[in-house]
Amino acid sequence: MADPVAPSPGRLTALQGTALYVGVVLGTGVIALPALAAAVAGPASLLAWVGLAVLSAPLAATFAALGARYPDAGGVATYARLAFGDRAAAVVGWCFYLSIPVGAPAAALWLGGYAAAGLGGGSTTVAVTAVALIVVMPVVHAFGVVVTGRVQLGLGGLLVVFLLVAVGVSMPHARLDNLQPFAPNGWLAVGSAAGLLVWCFVGWEAVTHLTAEFRRPTRDVPRATAAAVVVVGLLYLTVAFATIAVLGPAAGRTEAPLGDLMATGLGGNARVLAAAAALPLTLGVLNAYYAGAAKLGAALARDGALPGWLARGSVAGEVPRRSLGVLSVLALAAVLLVVALDVGPEPLVLLTTGLFVVVYAVGVAAAVRLLPRRSAARGAAKVALAVVAVLLVMYGPYLVWPLLVTGAALLYLRIRRPSPENVPVYQRRRPPPSP
């Protein structure tokens, strides 16, 4: 492990890091979740947005501190291994890997909602669009076609512009009367809305895999994180307020809230423009997650945490087609099941965020163990751990899925332990907690 305070040979600046954070955290959820949250809690869902925006700050600060102190491509899995050993790292890896088969179909269904709003066709258009996206994305990856980092940053900028335009053209039509009744489904519904909205704040851990690429991780990572927390929080709150204040009771019934905002300000044809914008944004996010998860699966297999036949493609420059194939089959099965049952994307959102809450729980617990005692960073980690504990309670029955994944990971390790010579050196080291 490199000296945690040594300068990095990377090239990323704090400004570029901020752009990466904003692009990763905003993701696809913002194009649909404001409407889903409004359907659950009405205007009171704004309280869930505010609460999660505030509570995400200690989470972001915790992962920034870990990334600055231990800049390594392994990210949360590395921190888990350093603090608790191979079993914790395997659990984190499995949760990340298996979040794609349930998360990608949710994003595909959201895109289908925008296609239906712009082109018509109702549920048939939603289903066809979602299935097509789930089939096409892994096929493209199987041939090694991956969107470049610069294009990913460009897509992040496009998303910000898309949000600002949708809000800007619709806000003249906002009515404060649409905030009443404020809590039509009771105050407990705010907690249910927050459970959905956790999706929108997943991503603070993702850039930890790139901390070694910053010029000076100890300085630039915290700066990038702080700036991104402010930008992301403001964007989310602005979009959520506009969705409710402009659309009123219709906010909870639309599948394409940003399309409806643009149509309110520009006219009905704007829904087609919204669908056209949502397509590259969804493709960009799924590109990043499929590419990362497929590589992760191959790396886990290489290190003995998944069956060895998945390891092909773990070397830089190779395409992990077997790992990608497993993800694709599981994702296709999930989207077909959801379409057949006509339950919508909400269960997929809760299953996905449940997995990430487990990742967060392990990550912040590792931070409490690894970060220096009596430091501000460790204090933030303790606050973050309390936040994650509350989230775990909120998820209730949806924790069955991450618990099954955790049990499967531990059972697999018990049955088949990885060979020490196949484990990278940095992963075999387990330093004591920082004093």
Q: How confident is the model at residue 151 (pLDDT cuts 50, 70, 90)?
A: low
Q: What is the pLDDT averaged over residues 136-158?
A: 66
**Contact between 324 and 347 (Cβ < 8 Å):** no
Q: Given this model, what pLDDT does residue 55 score?
A: 85
Task: With H, G, I as helix, E, B as strand and everything else as coil, classify residue 71.
Answer: coil
Mean pLDDT calculated for residue range 247-267: 85
Global pTM?
0.79
The residue-averaged pLDDT of 73-79 equals 75
Mean pLDDT of the chain: 81
pLDDT score for 1: 35
Strands (E) across 231-368 are located at none
Per-residue pLDDT, 133: 87
- pLDDT score of 374 more than 80: yes
**Domain residue extents for the chain:** 14-428
Above 80 in pLDDT, residue 49? yes
The confidence band for 408, taking pLDDT boundaries of 50, 70 and 90, is very high
Amino acid 382: pLDDT: 92
The CA dihedral of 262, 266, 271, 272, to the nearest 10 degrees, is -130
pLDDT band for position 64 (cuts 50, 70, 90): confident
pLDDT on residue 157: 76
Q: What whole-number distance in Å separates Cα of residue 388 and Cα of residue 399?
A: 13
pLDDT for the residue numbered 317:
62
**What digits encode the pLDDT tens for the residues 349-363?**
888 888 988 888 999
Q: At what angle do helices 346-370 and 321-341 cross, to 10 degrees?
A: 130
Looking at residue 208, its pLDDT comes to 64
- State CA 235 to chain mean position distance: 16
SS3 199: helix
Q: So what's the architecture of 14-428 in CATH? A: Up-down Bundle (1.20)
**CA–CA–CA angle 301, 422, 214 (5° rounding):** 80
What is the C-alpha to C-alpha distance for residues 194 and 240, in angstroms, rounded to an integer? 13
Q: What is the mean pLDDT of residues 207-222?
A: 71
Mean pLDDT within 134-163:
70
In residues, how long is the chain?
Answer: 435
Q: Indicate the pLDDT class of residue 433, thresholds 50, 70 and 90.
A: very low
Residue 315: the pLDDT is 67
Read off the pLDDT of each residue in 41-63 and give the average, rounded to a whole number: 89
d(CA 75, CA 212): 10
Residue 297 has pLDDT above 60, yes or no: yes
- pLDDT higher than threshold 70 for residue 6: no
Query: Going by C-beta distance under 8 Å and a sequence separation of 6 or more, which residues neighbour residue 297?
Result: 97, 306, 310, 320, 323, 326, 327
**What pLDDT does residue 305 have?**
84
Q: Given this model, what pLDDT does residue 431 score?
A: 46
Tell me: the pLDDT tens digits for 316-332?
Answer: 567 788 888 899 899 99
Mean pLDDT of the 23-41 span: 83
Dihedral angle, C-alpha 264, 267, 271, 277, nearest 10 °: -90
Residues 361 and 333 sit within 8 Å (Cβ to Cβ): no
Please say whether the beta carbons of 156 and 7 come within 8 A.
no
CA angle centred on 398, ends 278 and 335, rounded to 5° = 40
Most confident of 3-17, 66-80, 180-194, 392-406: 180-194
The string of pLDDT tens digits covering residues 263-282 is 888 876 778 888 888 887 78
Q: Decide if 105 contacts 338 (C-beta within 8 A).
A: yes
Q: Does 197 have pLDDT greater than 70?
A: yes
